[in-house]
Structure 1
């Protein structure tokens, strides 16, 4: 199960009611809440070594219906939820799961107003990103969207979607700026640590002035206490163990046994890697890149020098 759109595999300790409540409070996105609900339902079923068909028969439901619950497509009805918890031996957690279900049904994702401008596979990423306490990754071609200025973002999006009308490009730029507000400007901003290739910073995007503005903005961000930026210099040579840009999303600490996930986007769709072995490969690759890169405290000056060189 290497490539998934919904991740599974973590669990909370049975007596972690307070932590569960904190987890719900920290993840207000219905998409993120449904994802949590889905993977926890699957974890509990797996722990009992039950097949979906067996569970479906026990609650007088359908096997596809159980699949929809475990993929985040739908939520069980209250009586179905009670029966599932009984089967899984988790009746003491009923209050929490009913509250989680209600929040998932009544909540509203922050990006809902962008509607058609959000690709279907990207919805989950937006929910997880806005709920993650730590976001890490490698950027081989351009600075990450969370760090881009409006002018730079417009140039990047226009180059990638040259067939879109200006109004739609403007909406995509605003979506990117909204992501930045949700992650970097929230009451408890996420810790963001990105490693960027120097070639990505020297590549002129839009115009020299747009690129200089982006670099100066990046240098300022790198001085924030919740942001670390490292740059892999051109003279570091070849990079081993990486195939391109990727993002590591760390799970909230309340989800003790879930290792997080890695998000990789292609021209066609996004992939979520959640198996521990897969995550370890990406984290090892990121560690190697960090060793080759500038120290975080040296990065602002390094980036400003690149801006002067343009």
Structure 2
């Protein structure tokens, strides 16, 4: 599993909060158990600070989860010693603050499911296609900053898809995203070729939702569903939704469940992977 201190610290903080609440203990009781203050415990639960090893062990035993001590301690050590891969891009223009957590969560995922309505997903974009999108989406940015955003997107692909333990990726893409000419016909043709290459990889599945599929649960917009490795617990994951105003992370199982249901319905309505490849080839020839 790849390491992201940013994502690990957030997960440890969130899980400590959930375990405390499920055990019925107040912050005051937890703080007393580690001989600390309520304010200090609050720092742990929002990810501002990580508890020391002994504090972490004491809290987990108090919360009735002694069997998870070793796992949490290993995560704490990874968070302390690791480095986020994207730090070299860390500037406000190239890497907005909201994106940092997402990049950390994504690189740790064991499975990535996504639904895209009008654009090819970022993990699959060619450099020319990404450049056209950045130019069109942020025309006021200086060329240097636009170039850095494209470099970041290409580096993201290498980090997520280029390792030995790459996640399983299943993308459902609207036919509209394949027919839209972004950057010109040659750029779009190159992008379609890239999709065909990626779809042949054993860990990547690409399905196209055709125009004739009718109404579906993805009508309210694109999203990504990132599932963590099994050692984090059953079906632990994050649904990520981005719009013009904000990004939202849904992490409670009850909030993530509707996204799991939606992606499964989209998969059932979309063309099979083999038929999707046939349609991508047909669109390529038509452009």
Q: TM-score, normalised by structure 2?
A: 0.91
CA distance in 2, matches of 1:308, 1:211: 11
Q: How many residue pairs were aligned?
A: 285
Return the structure number with greater helix share: 2
Q: Does 1:52 align with 2:61?
A: no
Contact 2:129/2:183 (CA < 8 Å) preserved in 1? yes
The match for 2:151 is 174
Distance 1:98 1:286, change over 3 A: closer
TM-aligned CA distance change 1:103 to 1:205, over 3 Å? same
Q: Which residue of 1 aligns with 2:38?
A: 63
Q: How does 1:153-168 map to 2 (within 5 A)?
A: 153-168=130-145
Tell me what 1:305 maps to: 282
Q: Report the 3-state secondary structure (helix = DSSP H, G, I; strand = E; otherwise coil) of the residue aligned with 2:275.
A: helix
State the shift of 1:105 in Å.
Answer: 1.7
Are residues 240 and 39 of structure 1, via their aligned partners in 2, closer, same or farther at CA, if it must alter by over 3 Å?
A: closer
Task: Please state whether the residue corresponding to 1:205 is helix, strand or coil.
Answer: coil
Q: CA, structure 1 residues 147+308, in 2 after alignment: closer, same or farther (shift >3 Å)? A: same
Correspondence for 1:247: 224
Match of 1:11 in 2: none
Unaligned runs of 5+ in 1: 1-25
User: Contact conserved, 1:220 with 1:300, CA < 8 A, in 2?
Assistant: no
Quote the residue 2:190 is aligned against: 213
- The separation in 2 between residues aligned to 1:99 and 1:255, in whole angstroms, is 12
Deviation at 1:297, TM superposition (A): 1.7
User: Aligned partners of 1:254 and 1:275: how far apart in 2?
Assistant: 17
Say which of 116, 131, 140 aligns to 1:139: 116
Q: Is the CA contact 2:209–2:269 (under 8 Å) kept in the aligned structure 1?
A: yes
Q: Tell me: CA distance 1:84–1:304, structure 2 relative to 1, closer, same or farther (3 Å).
A: same
Give a deviation string over 1:232-265, Cα, whole Å, max 9, x none: 1112233345311100111101122343121101
Distance 1:187 1:114, change over 3 A: same
CA distance in 1, matches of 2:53, 2:120: 45
2:254 pairs with 1:272: no
Deviation at 1:82, TM superposition (A): 4.5
Q: Equivalents in 2 of 1:79, 1:260: separation in Å?
A: 27
List per-residue Cα deviations over 1:7-35 (Å, max 9, x = no partner).
Answer: xxxxxxxxxxxxxxxxxxx2421122212
Worse overlay, 90-99 or 117-126? 90-99
Matched, 1:103 2:78: yes
Q: Normalising to structure 1: TM-score of the pair?
A: 0.85
Q: Deviations over 1:116-149 (max 9, x none)?
A: 1222222221111111111001000101000000
Deviation string 1:205-232 (CA, Å, 9 cap, x unpaired) is: 0111111111111111111111111111
Q: Which residue of 2 aligns with 1:261?
A: 238
Contact 1:223–1:300 (CA<8 Å) still a contact in 2? Answer: no
Query: Does the residue aligned with 2:221 lie in a helix, a strand or coil?
Result: coil
Larger RCO, structure (CA 8 Å, separation 6 or more): 1
Structure 2: state its 5+ residue gaps. none
1:225/1:86 Cα in 2 relative to 1: closer, same or farther (>3 Å)?
Answer: closer
Change (3 A) 1:86 1:217: closer
Alignment partners' CA distance in 1, 2:67 and 2:191: 52
**Partner-residue secondary structure (3-state), 1:238:** coil
Trace 1:12-23 onto structure 2 (pairs within 5 A): none
